[in-house]
Amino acid sequence: MIRLQDVCKSYFLGDEEVKAVRGINLEIKDKEYVSILGSSGSGKSTLMYLIGLLEHPSSGKIFMDGKNVSKLSDKELSKIRNRAVGFIFQSFNLLNRFTVYENILLPTKYAKESLDFNFRDRASELLNKFGIWDRRNFFPNKISGGQQQRVAIARALMMKPKIVLADEPTGNLDTKTGNEILGILENLNKEFNVTVILVTHEKDVAKRTRRKIYIKDGQIVEKYL
């Protein structure tokens, strides 16, 4: 499904070049449940942005379903992201001016083509699935962190994506709630048949995935120390 070929990504801080990702070769297959494990500054978030088509590689190629998407325009990438990729973040990234229900519907507002499903029925299904139906008219800052992350997961699934990228999804949650969220992510992979890629610095979180990818100094390594 996703293949990175000799991918590098550099940034400039003033005149200094920072090589965040260096020569990554990686394949993630359809319906896998994998983790990208690395410490702060290892390049794991940059790798996630590349896989999620939020960043262009400085060099190398990225293939999605066999198509080279590395050189597509931002507009073309945005269209693919909207339909194929769902994002879950540590800080939830919900908009407090919108209700829970409206937050879940947000991806449909950015769709560039007609939808092949009833978005209201889809939102209602997800609200019920994740136990937040009774919170649908609340604003995000009026519900708990665990409930906010459930809203974020529902939003990520709204467009029926092939891939869900979760960036430190338990980082702002207590242990009990974090375990509940990890259980939901495991079930997404099983019940919704989506590829789940979990980015974390915690070994205990990563060990719950079926495959672990270790990254250090912008490169994939054999073992995470």
**What are the tens digits of pLDDT across the range 124-157?**
999 999 999 999 999 999 999 999 999 999 999 9
Element (H, E) at 145: helix 145-157
Q: Is residue 142 part of a domain?
A: no
User: What is the count of structural domains for the chain?
Assistant: 1
Q: Is the pLDDT of residue 115 over 90?
A: no
Instruction: Provide the domain limits for residue 12.
Output: 2-96+156-221
* pLDDT mean over 14-28: 92
In angstroms, the CA 187 to CA 195 distance is 11
Supply the CATH number for residue 190's domain: 3.40.50.300
What is the pTM for the complete model shown? 0.91
Q: Is residue 31 part of a domain?
A: yes
Q: What is the pLDDT of residue 225?
A: 53
Q: What is the pLDDT of residue 175?
A: 92
Q: Is residue 179 part of a domain?
A: yes
Q: What is the pLDDT of residue 193?
A: 86
Residues of the chain by 3-state class (helix, strand, coil), percent to 5 = 35, 30, 35
* Vertex 199 angle, CA 64 and 100, to 5°: 90
Which amino acid is located at 46 in the chain? T
